[in-house]
Amino acid sequence: MQTVFDSHVDPELVERSLAASSLDSMWLDIPRPSYDALSGSVTADLLVVGAGYTGLWTALHAAQRNPGQKIVLVDAERVGWAASGRNGGFVDASLTHGLANGKARWPNEIETLEAMGRENLDGMQDDIGQLRLDVDWERTGMLAVATEPHQVAWLQEAADGGEGRFVAQDEVRAEVASPTYLAGLFSPDTLAIVHPGKLALELARACVEAGVAIFERTNVTSIDSSGSAVRFGAGNGTVTAGRAVLATNVFPSLIMRNRLQTVPVYDYVLATEPLTDAQLDRVGWANRQGIGDSANQFHYYRLSADNRIVWGGYDAIYKFGRKVKPAYEDRPASYRRLAAHFFITFPQLDDVRFSHRWAGAIDTSTRFCAHWGLAHGGRVAYVNGFTGLGVGAARFAADVCLDLLEGRSSARTELEMVRKRPLPFPPEPLASIGIQATRWSLDRADHSAGRRNLLLRTLDALGLGFDS
């Protein structure tokens, strides 16, 4: 069975549209300050490793909780250069990679998790307002769209379950003009969109203003917890800290037992040039919702403040060996596929060109959402595994890490989601074989009216899976 995304698109249009695009994240194509690399020895009350959103929120909230403490934040490269500077900028309230995943795994606490997720999203909006972070925050809501007949029933079911308002075909096309839309589900409260690069850089500014010392190009390579404080080998120096948070996401964990917990999955993104008013008029989209289609292999797309369309997803590529490598980012087949799918969705935009193309590694967990823990005698906290929905959840994750380090029981640390570890991925070659078989099955399901084969049903029953 074919899907709408198997429709023919003129290959010359695709080539032309990508010809002038540069291979880098549009979100990081902005002026930015530099922070020195660490050299020599420093001491700190708290060391935070990793200056993506998780590390930045951790450092900021730690400074707010206890203004007197000395906090050092280090990154192996630059602030926000990794997933935090490459994502779609969808700030979703869900802490569980969507309601369905959370409900299936934690049926007894899903209401609490949903409430905490909403509180986190509102809290993020308050933080951004109070700290005057200039991050193009727009509380647009989320529009899920059905592009295949069987997905219409899924959206109706989600609406019946309270996830939003079902929107019939005529209305959804009047909102955003795509001939692929068969229905929609609009959730007004659960999503904001943000400029991902500005969010990282502005959080860093707020950290510095709160007294945090930031060091870039400072790779942490060792942890020694044999003394009364923990000693970290960091760049050309050392940090001796009372406590630490590891916010290293998809990169090899400094805690060996966590190395099998996640796999890097490459996700690809395009950004158009700013649309002219005439081009935008052809699409409508006056309410600027974040949009996602509903297959296993899905696209997510949104407008930027200067009216570019940021268009990502579909391919989720895992490479044998679990490596994060810049060479994996240049994947012409994925960019061509994304461009073709863009013109299927918006055929009226065939005069639009892409200015940027980029990829990022998602830290995929078998349960599709973060897990936490303590190591080195309770002095080091870690979090990993956001699986493609970490922009909002990173702020919540930071607070969990701080609660854990303080050794205090909170509503957050009492969650089963926080207390339980997910199952790891197997080592190679099993990881690769399993993931490729799962990806193939997900593609087959998309081409078979959503029907899941034996492998997917078995994984569902075991609470295991692969997503982006």
**Binding residues for ligand FAD, per CB under 6 A?**
49-55, 74-77, 81-84, 86-90, 92, 219-220, 247-251, 254, 267, 269, 300, 312, 360-362, 386, 388-392, 394
- Least distance between ligand FAD and beta carbon 359 (Å): 6
Alpha-carbon span 41 to 195, nearest angstrom: 35
Alpha-carbon span 433 to 442, nearest angstrom: 14
Q: Residue 138 pairs with which residues in a beta bridge?
A: 193
Q: What is the DSSP string of 413-451?
A: TT-HHHHSPPPPPPPTTHHHHHHHHHHHHHHHHHTTTT-
Alpha-carbon span 317 to 432, nearest angstrom: 11
Residues 135, 160: contact at Cβ < 8 Å?
no
Q: What are phi and psi of 152, to 5 degrees?
A: -60, -45
Residues 280, 426: contact at Cβ < 8 Å?
no
- Least distance between ligand FAD and beta carbon 235 (Å): 9
Alpha-carbon span 89 to 49, nearest angstrom: 22
- Least distance between ligand FAD and beta carbon 161 (Å): 22
Q: What is the DSSP string of 139-167?
A: ---EEEEE-SHHHHHHHHHHHHTTSSEEE
- Least distance between ligand FAD and beta carbon 461 (Å): 27
Output 216 or 446, the one with its CB closest to ligand FAD: 216
Alpha-carbon span 119 to 114, nearest angstrom: 9
Residues 112, 102: contact at Cβ < 8 Å?
no
Output 10 or 77, the one with its CB closest to ligand FAD: 77
How far is the first Cα of the chain from the last one, in angstroms, to the nearest whole number? 24
| Closest CA relative to residue 368, chosen from 143, 90, 98 | 98
- Least distance between ligand FAD and beta carbon 125 (Å): 15
- Least distance between ligand FAD and beta carbon 83 (Å): 4
- Least distance between ligand FAD and beta carbon 128 (Å): 15
Output 188 or 347, the one with its CB closest to ligand FAD: 188
Residue nearest to ligand FAD (CB): 390
Output 117 or 434, the one with its CB closest to ligand FAD: 117
Buried residues in 143-153 as b, exposed as e (16+ CB within 10 A): bbbbbbeebbe
Output 75 or 114, the one with its CB closest to ligand FAD: 75
Alpha-carbon span 291 to 88, nearest angstrom: 11
- Least distance between ligand FAD and beta carbon 455 (Å): 26
Output 279 or 364, the one with its CB closest to ligand FAD: 364
- Least distance between ligand FAD and beta carbon 153 (Å): 26
| Closest CA relative to residue 353, chosen from 14, 11, 5, 63 | 14
Output 279 or 345, the one with its CB closest to ligand FAD: 345
Output 155 or 255, the one with its CB closest to ligand FAD: 255
Chain centroid to Cα 178, Å, comes to: 26
- What lies within 8 Å, CB to CB, of 121 at 6+ separation is 91, 92, 93, 190, 192, 392
> Is the preceding peptide bond at 429 cis, omega within 30 degrees of 0?
yes
List C-alpha distances in Å: 87 to 149, 275, 327, 360, 444.
Answer: 29, 20, 18, 7, 27
- Least distance between ligand FAD and beta carbon 38 (Å): 10
Output 173 or 373, the one with its CB closest to ligand FAD: 373
Output 121 or 152, the one with its CB closest to ligand FAD: 121
Output 389 or 456, the one with its CB closest to ligand FAD: 389
What is the biggest distance separating any 2 CA atoms in the chain, rounded to whole angstroms?
67
Output 164 or 290, the one with its CB closest to ligand FAD: 290
User: Looking up tokens 């399901």, which residue turns up?
Assistant: 445
- Least distance between ligand FAD and beta carbon 326 (Å): 13
- Least distance between ligand FAD and beta carbon 448 (Å): 27
